[in-house]
Amino acid sequence: MGYLRLVHSAEPAPAPETSCLEAYNRDLDYLFETLQRLGAGAREVEDLAQEVFVVLHRHWPALDTTRPLRPYLFGVAFRVVCAHRRRRKREVPWLGLDAEDSGSSPEGQLQSKESVALLMAALERVPLPRRAVLVMHELDGVPIADVAERFSISRFGAYARLRKAHRELASAVRRLLKEGAPR
Amino acid sequence: MNRDDRAFNRELETLLERGRAIRPLPDVVRARALARARATIAKGAEAVPAPTAANPARSVGRRIALAAAFTLLIGGAGAVAAIRGGMLERSRPAPAPVAPAARVAPPRPQIPAAVTPEPESTPKPIEKRHAARPTAQESYAAELVLLHRAHVAYASRDFSSALVLVAEHARRFPNGRLAEEREALRVRSLAGSGRTADARRAVAAFATRFPRSVLLPRLQETAGTPD
């Protein structure tokens, strides 16, 4: 009887679908950004985000929501992009950014947009496994130990990938600047 | 040079710094993404009862299949024991069927009569259905991929490759679901490569195997007048 009373008097928990959608909405900017950083073209990023949501929704009941969601989203996004690449089986050149920026001043906005475009174009030239480490550590600020754990590699391996990715990014930026890419 | 490198590294660092910012999504894009997500949830909600309802059924099916396998195993073991013991008496009429629990330690004279008909009567089709479904799908997908490759080769007038792929398909799936299409492609590829006699022979074989195929008249025409 006491058990029954306890069950009936419990606070109604938010529907899992609602909380999943709310979490997705909260990190949607991050997800789109991550997908683009991992090389998703502007035209395919929405479809890939939807694929990520499908995975998130499927695993939501078993997910530990007390932990930050972004590393999980990054892992799913990485796998989705890898699978998408395998499907596509060829590289699509960087098409530029469609999403509008909301910078403070028009000049700053332009500069920032061009920098991001240059960075994205340079990232595109870094192979995906190393790019993922670079993006996660350098852009998302995830500690290297967590990066290593996320990709199931040793810390040494993660550092090695990061170093090589740095070199590749630097040479890609150099080449792009030589080719006259926007700065 | 060194100074240049340092300047470049600073520039790279600035670039990364700017790249760290997460740009807000345009409202339209966000609304579209959320609408798609909601549609997925709605679809999932419709589909949710189905898996939960299907799961017990599946587990029941699995149990039945397991039980069937178990009875088969016991039956087999019993039969072997009976043969070894020289107790196989087919002529003797079987007594009343024994309950499965009693059959765990089968009395030798009852084994051949009571055990053999049972696994073949009810549980076997269920077991067969469960085991065959994924492999059929997989083989169909593999067939499709192979034949698609053959079609691509044929479309690019690479008839020898198309014929190789057709032969591989015939080897792997002699009676596959796409056998008719495969044989049609064989005729067309043979005709395309100028092997008229082989093409005619292939058409004759096709006509024998698929006499009512809608592809037949066209293939006969193709074999008669190769590309």
| Interval A25-32 mean pLDDT | 92
- Which of A76-90, A120-134, B40-54, B119-133 bottoms out in mean pLDDT, i.e. has the lowest? B119-133
Q: Are residues B105 and B61 in the same domain?
A: yes
Domains contained in chain B, number: 2
Which ipTM value was assigned to this complex? 0.72
Rounded Cα distance, B158 and B192, in Å? 9
Q: Read off the pLDDT of residues B176-200 as tens digits, 9 standing for 90 and up.
A: 888 888 999 999 899 888 888 889 9
Q: What integer pLDDT is reported at residue A6 of this predicted model?
A: 53
The verdict on B115 and B143 lying in the same domain is: no
Same domain, B149 and B77: no
Contact A132, A78 (CB under 8 A): yes
Residue B5 has pLDDT above 60, yes or no: yes
Residues B109 and B190 in one domain: no
Chain B residues with CB under 8 Å of A33 CB are: 22-23
**Residue B110 located in a structural domain:** yes
Q: Per-residue pLDDT averaged across A35-50, rounded? A: 88
Chain B residues whose CB is inside 8 A of the A24 CB are 34, 37
A53-57, A150-154, B70-74: the lowest-pLDDT one: B70-74
Domain match, B86 and B110 both: yes
B179 with B211, same domain: the answer is yes
Q: Where in chain A is the domain with CATH 1.10.1740?
A: 14-98
CB-CB under 8 Å, A50 with B37: yes
Question: What residue ranges of chain A are covered by domains with CATH 1.10.10.10?
Answer: 100-183
> In this structure, which amino acid lies at residue A7?
V
**Residue B19: which of A53, A99, A139 has the nearest Cβ?**
A139
CB < 8 Å to B32, chain A: 46
Query: What local confidence, expressed as pLDDT, does residue A13 receive?
Result: 55
The CATH fold assigned to A14-98 is Rna Polymerase Sigma Factor; Chain: A (1.10.1740)
Contacts of B40 in chain A (CB under 8 A): 50, 53-54, 57
Of B121, B151, B172, the last residue of a domain is B121
Crossing angle of helices A28-37 and A70-88, in 10° steps, is 40
Is B16 close to A139, i.e. CB distance below 8 A?
A: yes
CB of A92 less than 8 A from some CB of B:
no
Q: Using the beta-carbon criterion (under 8 Å), do A138 and B16 form an inter-chain contact? A: yes
Chain B positions in Cβ-Cβ contact with residue A30 (cut-off 8 Å): 22
Domain that holds residue B197: 133-224
pLDDT greater at residue A163 or residue A101: A163
Please indicate, yes or no, if residue B128 is contained in any of the structural domains.
no
Say whether residue A74 is in contact with chain B using an 8 A CB cutoff: no
Better pLDDT: A28 or A9: A28
Residue where one domain finishes, among candidates B77, B97, B121: B121
Question: Is B108 part of any domain?
Answer: yes
Provide the mean pLDDT of chain B: 69
Contacts of A109 in chain B (CB under 8 A): none
Helices assigned H by DSSP within chain B = 2-20, 27-47, 49-84, 111-115, 117-121, 123-155, 159-172, 179-192, 196-209, 216-224
Rounded mean pLDDT, A20-39 = 90
Say what percent of chain B tops pLDDT 90: 4
Among the candidates B87, B121, B155, a domain finishes at B121
- CA-based nearest distance B165→chain A, Å: 21
- Contact assignment for B15 to A21 by CB distance below 8 Å: no
How many contacts (CB atoms, under 8 Å) link A and B?
85
The reply to whether B99 and B137 lie within a common domain is no
Residue A46: is its pLDDT beyond 70? yes
Tell me: do B88 and B148 sit in the same domain: no
> Which pLDDT score, from 0 to 100, does residue B99 have?
42
* CATH number of residue B172's parent domain: 1.25.40.10
A72 touches chain B (CB under 8 A): no
The answer to whether the CB of B37 falls within 8 A of the CB of A24 is: yes
Asked whether B185 and B153 are in contact (CB, 8 A), the reply is no
**So what's the pLDDT on residue B76?**
53
Same domain, B218 and B185: yes
pLDDT at B51: 38
**Cα–Cα distances in angstroms (integers) from residue A35 to residues A45, A80, A146, B117, B200, in the given order:** 6, 9, 19, 60, 55
User: What is the least distance, in Å, from the CA of A158 to any CA of chain B?
Assistant: 19
Nearest CA in chain B to A182: B15
| Joined tokens for residue A44 | 């395919």
B93-134 pLDDT, tens digit per residue, is 444 444 444 344 444 444 443 333 444 444 444 444 444 454
From the list B9, B16, B25, the residue facing A99 with the nearest CB is B25
Same domain, yes or no, for B95 and B141?
A: no
Question: Mean pLDDT throughout A94-116?
Answer: 53
Start-to-end C-alpha separation, chain A = 71
Nearest to B25 among A32, A50, A53 (CB): A32
**pLDDT of B23 higher than 90:** no
| Percent of chain B residues topping a pLDDT of 70 | 57
Q: Which residues of B touch A139 (CB under 8 A)?
A: 16, 19-20
Name the residue of chain A whose CA is nearest to B29's CA: A46
Return the sign of the alpha-carbon dihedral for residues B114, B116, B117, B121: positive
Domain A100-183 has CATH 2.40.170.20: no
